[in-house]
Amino acid sequence: SQQGEEDPQALSIQEGENATMNCSYKTSINNLQWYRQNSGRGLVHLILIRSNEREKHSGRLRVTLDTSKKSSSLLITASRAADTASYFCATALFMETSGSRLTFGEGTQLTVNP
C-alpha cells in the first residue's frame, strides 16, 4: 500500500522562484527521505529527516516534518533549470520482523523554466 502521497503531482515554475512540494503519510515512521529522479535515471537521495526532527537544511533544500499531521514538505529555493526532475518522498520504518522498509509516494514532477 502506498504510504507517502506527494502534492502537487506536477509543478511548473520560473528559474529563480522557490518550489514547494508536500508529502503526506499514514503510519508511524523512523525517518522520512526525499529523492530526486532525472529522466531516464535512478533515484538519488537528497535529504533525510528523523522522526524527532522538525526541520533540516541542505544547501538550497529545506525539509520540514510534522509528525502530528503526518506530513512533510520540501522547499527548493532559487530554483535552476537543472532542478527539473521528479521528486519523491519515502517513509522509512524499521520493524523487528521485517527489517527496514522504504515506501515511496508517486512523486512530484517539477519543471523549472529558464
Question: For 4, which DSSP code?
Answer: -
Q: Which is nearer to other proteins, 2 or 12 (CB)?
A: 2
Distance of closest approach, residue 101 Cβ to other proteins, in angstroms: 7
As measured in angstroms, the least distance from the Cβ of 73 to other proteins is 18
The amino acid at 96: E
For 8-84, strand residue ranges (E) read 10-14, 19-24, 31-37, 43-50, 55-58, 61-66, 71-76
The binding site for other proteins (CB under 8 A) comprises: 1-2, 4, 30-31, 33, 40-45, 48, 88, 92-94, 98-102, 104-107
